[in-house]
């Protein structure tokens, strides 16, 4: 962590709460491929003199958990990043996609992934209707 860099970001980019900058080098290994190293930078309002490095790590992991669990599904299954909607429709679109993902999670019963839930539900629509209480 570089405290001087946090000062530069605060001043140059008008980020008043920036107290620390964290550099994270992540090595990604995929079968059959050479390892790839990605460097990511994070800014934080936490004071690096008062907070242990483990707290920064927890914060970064929590951020990516949300990204991978919610936004990743919304991007993958709802193409959320490709939509260009007017501002008033954007709120409605977000509400509808959140509702859809919540329903898919409620319907999960033995399927491992949300895609499997969607495929099963489209092939056998009576089963999810029964799970939601629409059929006896």
Per-residue pLDDT tens over the stretch 64-78: 766 666 666 677 666
Q: Mark out the alpha helices in the chain (DSSP H runs).
A: 3-12, 53-66, 72-78, 87-107, 114-123, 126-131
Q: What pLDDT is recorded for position 36?
A: 92
Q: Tell me how far apart the alpha carbons of residues 36 and 54 are, in angstroms, rounded to a whole number.
A: 24
Is the full-model pTM beyond 0.85? no
Residue 61 — pLDDT band, cuts 50, 70, 90?
A: confident
Instruction: Supply the DSSP symbol for 17.
Output: T
Cβ-based neighbour number of residue 131 at 10 Å: 15
Q: Where is average pLDDT lowest: 52-56, 57-61, 77-81?
A: 77-81
Q: Where is average pLDDT lowest: 38-47, 66-75, 88-97?
A: 66-75
Residue of 74, 134, 126 whose CA lies nearest to 105: 74
Question: pLDDT tens digits, residue range 16-36?
Answer: 888 988 888 888 888 899 999
């Amino acid at each position: 962590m570089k405290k001087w860099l946090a000062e530069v970001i605060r001043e140059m980019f008008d980020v008043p709460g920036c107290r620390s900058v964290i550099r994270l080098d992540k090595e990604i290994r995929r079968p059959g491929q050479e390892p790839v190293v990605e460097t990511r930078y994070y800014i934080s309002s936490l004071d690096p003199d008062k907070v242990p490095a483990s707290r920064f790590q927890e914060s970064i992991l929590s951020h990516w958990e949300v990204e991978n669990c919610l936004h990743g599904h919304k991007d993958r299954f709802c193409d959320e990043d490709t939509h260009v909607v007017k501002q008033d429709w954007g709120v409605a679109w977000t509400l509808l996609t959140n509702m859809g993902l919540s329903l898919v999670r409620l319907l999960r019963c033995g399927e491992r992934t949300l895609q499997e839930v969607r495929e099963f539900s489209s092939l056998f629509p009576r089963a999810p209707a029964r799970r939601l209480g629409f059929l006896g």
